[in-house]
Structure 1
Amino acid sequence: MASSPTRIAVLSLEGCVASSVMGPLDVFAMANLLSRDVGMSAPFEAELVSPGGRPAKSFHGLELMAARVPKPGERFDVVLVPAMVGGLEEVLGERVLTRWLKAQHARGAKLAAVCAGAFVLAETGLLEGREATTHWGLAQRFAARYPGVRLKPELLLVDQDDVLTAGGITAYLDLCLHLVAKQASPELAALCAKMLLVEPGRRLQGPYAVHSAPRDHGDVAVLRAQEWLEAHYQGPVTLAAAAEAASLGARTLLRRFQKATGDTPLDYVQRLRVEAARRMLETSPRTVEDISQAVGYADTTSFRRRFKARTGLTPDAYRRRFALR
């Protein structure tokens, strides 16, 4: 542990999610408050910073006026890029921000990002050839824009030592607790997690991801096949039947369907079945066996295996975590 506090800059950016700005400041302040309980002095100096020197508004209009403009040549130990909803393209076009982040990294700062903040880090080129994550709903857009990044959308947190990325918006909690453990101590991170009522050790986004297949691909025949599969996934499904509904040959449908949606027709069916099962597990008291049959699986063992492969959780574990009680 360093003898001097870890200096953390939380960035104030237009269109940010306010909780991913103020939340990290709260976590690091809580760590300072609790540090005496584990026998250490306050380990963090965290503040709101605006490299561009102008006030920003969150995506719902909250003005973030207290940000400090960093001094020329000033170095932080950690720079945290918040989540953003809206205004992302404008932020990605801010060359001043990109240059500042690259300069901080060159001076030894760790760069961290939450959710869409990973796009901002990717603009610097520092993620090229390296692993990163972002919100599962942004994964396709990210992969298309930054093909050189080894995207791991199934992971909630990716730590490349000098560059860290976290998944969805509230993954700032996981990221900040990870930084507390890394920069201060695991004992302090565990204590913060208990005080903040945060489940530590989350690593996967799979249980939270919602299947949303592209429908704006422009292939009318594939869209007909999608609609047919969505209406018939509970029963026996064959490639030939889907191809007939699309008025295409089976091989042609397979090629065009995969190009348009990223899935084969039969993989698409598995996604539909798992999504339907998830909704039932969240909202109904039906047994796993009943749900398995209802969504099209004759064999419950096969259903359990496929469900865990898609979500990272068994059906029973998924229900315990997400059921609407």
Structure 2
Amino acid sequence: MVAQHDTVEVGLLVYPGAQLAAVYGLTDLFSVANRMAGEHPGSGLPTLRVRHWAADAGSGDIRCVFDSHPALSSRMNVVILPPCLDGLPPVENLQPFSQWLRQQHAAGATLSSVCAGVLLLAETGLLSGRPATTHWNFARTLGERYPDIAVDADKLIIDDGDIITAGGVMAWADLGLALVDRLLAPSIASATAHFLVIDLSRQTQRYFSRFAPPLTHGDAAVLKVQHWLQKQGARDVTLGAMAEQAGLGERTFLRRFQQATGLKPTEYCQELRVAKGRELLEFTTRSVDQIAWEVGYQDPGAFRKVFQRIVGLPPKEYRLRFGVRCASRPA
């Protein structure tokens, strides 16, 4: 859950061809989540402020065209790119949005997409070298246009920390619940799903318990390091390398990193590695030792200890409970 703030802002980018049903559906979903959170007074849960953004017809500037709580002040926490029913939109129609999205990401906002909305993310260059999902019908085209993106259309949602991609057209509901889980609390996501009669069970098992790094702390040097660590999986990194990325001395970097994220750099890297390890345990049949090496541990025993401390289960038991391949086998 995010740190306690009065308001958390979710922006919906209404680009040409965006599915309006998803835009208004997500707006309603977050409204229900606010109502559920309001049933717990004194809990310190923030209010979700939803704003719609679109390109001005005259200037082309991205402007707010709807605000659920205009009297509140906030900074952008999440930007959502809704699906497009017409398929992958023409690249030339997306140029005005790329710079705006990069600016939001650089300021600490998490970027997320549904279905063909992933093309806008691809156009920013921020998905280079990273995993992403989209509608199965668009996966081949996306991979051909952007060969540096690791497209995996088998997954409904890929939560890569500061960038989240969701698959099919109706996956906006799954993404919305995942964001409620992250921005408010798992119990609020569950209550919202029950009210809207949405099956939450497959989502809680696979995607809702991911490490959600704090990205809106306002320290640009630390944020730069977070993006760097996320992109290369926090493998084979040293304190000196992180401090160099931040352009700071090691002692200053240590202090500012822990102040911004609430974690020591070592703890932060462990969270990122374990998050990747959980994904591999769920979706592959690789051995625990192989997964340990892949996420950056030369000693598989150390990986097992860190995994159990963070997740609460040893890797093998986690796979038995949540592994997709294991769950699909007949009893």
| Shorter-chain TM-score range | 0.5 to 0.7
The match for 2:26 is 24
| 1:44 is aligned to 2:48 | yes
The match for 2:102 is 102
The match for 1:54 is 57
Q: 1:148 to 1:91 in 2, by over 3 A?
A: closer
CA contact (8 A) 2:46 2:184 kept: no
Work out the CA distance in 2 between the residues paired with 1:183 and 1:92. 33
Q: Percent identity?
A: 33
**Secondary structure, aligned partner of 1:153:** coil
CA contact (8 A) 1:75 1:107 kept: no
Amino acid at match of 2:158: V
Amino acid at match of 1:121: L
Aligned counterpart for 2:10 among listed residues 8, 11, 16: 8
Work out the CA distance in 2 between the residues paired with 1:146 and 1:315. 38
Work out the CA distance in 2 between the residues paired with 1:145 and 1:165. 17
The match for 1:85 is 85
The match for 2:152 is 152
**Secondary structure, aligned partner of 1:195:** helix
The match for 2:194 is 194
Work out the CA distance in 1 between the residues paired with 2:23 and 2:89. 19
CA-to-aligned-CA distance 1:126-162 (integer Å, 9 cap, x gap): 1111111001111111111111111111000011111
RMSD: 2.8
Amino acid at match of 1:14: P
Normalising by structure 1, what TM-score?
A: 0.55
CA-to-aligned-CA distance 1:170-218 (integer Å, 9 cap, x gap): 1111101000001110010000010010011435xxxxxxxxxxxxxxx
Work out the CA distance in 1 between the residues paired with 2:11 and 2:151. 25
| 1:134 is aligned to 2:137 | no
Structure 1 regions of 5+ residues with no counterpart? 56-64, 69-73, 204-307, 317-325
Instruction: Map 1:1-325 to 2 at 5 A.
Output: 1-39=3-41, 40=43, 41-50=45-54, 52-54=55-57, 66-67=65-66, 75-86=75-86, 88-90=88-90, 93-202=93-202
CA contact (8 A) 2:132 2:150 kept: yes
Work out the CA distance in 1 between the residues paired with 2:99 and 2:8. 22
CA contact (8 A) 1:75 1:104 kept: no
Work out the CA distance in 1 between the residues paired with 2:8 and 2:116. 25
Work out the CA distance in 1 between the residues paired with 2:46 and 2:28. 14
**Secondary structure, aligned partner of 2:164:** strand
**Secondary structure, aligned partner of 2:172:** helix
Q: CA deviation at 1:84?
A: 0.5
**Count of residues in correspondence between the two structures:** 196
Work out the CA distance in 1 between the residues paired with 2:104 and 2:28. 23
Q: CA deviation at 1:165?
A: 0.4
| Structure 1 runs, 4 residues or longer, greater than 6 Å off | none
Amino acid at match of 1:164: I
The match for 2:221 is none
Structure 2 regions of 5+ residues with no counterpart? 59-63, 68-73, 204-323
Larger Rg: 1
**Secondary structure, aligned partner of 2:202:** coil
Work out the CA distance in 1 between the residues paired with 2:201 and 2:161. 17
Q: CA deviation at 1:36?
A: 2.1
Q: CA deviation at 1:3?
A: 1.4
**Secondary structure, aligned partner of 1:144:** helix
**Secondary structure, aligned partner of 1:77:** strand
Normalising by structure 2, what TM-score?
A: 0.54
CA contact (8 A) 1:114 1:168 kept: yes
